[in-house]
Each structure stands twice: as C-alpha cells, then as structure tokens.
Amino acid sequence: MKVIIKPIVTEKMTVQTEKLNRYGFVVDKKVNKLQIKDAVEAMYNVSVETVNTMVYSGKGKSRYTKSGVIVGRTNSFKKAMITLVDGDKIDFYSNI
C-alpha cells in the first residue's frame, strides 16, 4: 500500500516549513499516524516529532453552461502535517 501520495508545496506550507519545521503531505485515507511516521522516516531519512492528520471531504461544485447546469464534486483526501525534530530538513527539489 502506498502511504504518501504527494507532498503539499504551497505558499502557506512554505511559510510553515521555514518557521515551524512542518511539512504537509496528501496521504492514503486508510493509514494511521504511526504508518505515516514510519513512511516519512524511511523515505526522507529524518526524525519525525509529531504527526497531525485531517480528512477533507469533497466540495460540491456547479457550473452554468449553454446546455444547462453541470453538477459534480471534488475529490476527498486526507492530509498529514509532519513536524520534524530540530535540525532535520526535507528537500523536495533534490531529485529534479
């Protein structure tokens, strides 16, 4: 099972990374905090201090077109906020 789907790289997460040493990841909805911690430590060779998770439900979206109203939903996902021990860092851009 793939635990980490993708990292979250936004302006808000960049500020939290610089100030609080905290990183965000989109993870599989079925995993728990211990599995997330083990996956991050194994993948990036860092020490994880805390893991906070939150589940976002999909929002309803509608759009008006010539043929009528199109109604749909965005995907739901689980987000994990990882706080690392002082001195550890994750470089997302090293493999580019």
Structurally, at CATH architecture level, domain 4-84 sits in: 2-Layer Sandwich (3.30)
pLDDT tens, residue by residue, 2-52: 999 999 999 999 999 999 999 999 999 999 999 999 999 999 999 999 999
pLDDT tens, residue by residue, 59-72: 999 999 999 999 99
pLDDT tens, residue by residue, 39-87: 999 999 999 999 999 999 999 999 999 999 999 999 999 999 999 999 9
Strand partners, 27: 4, 78
- CA distance linking residue 94 with residue 73, whole number of Å: 35
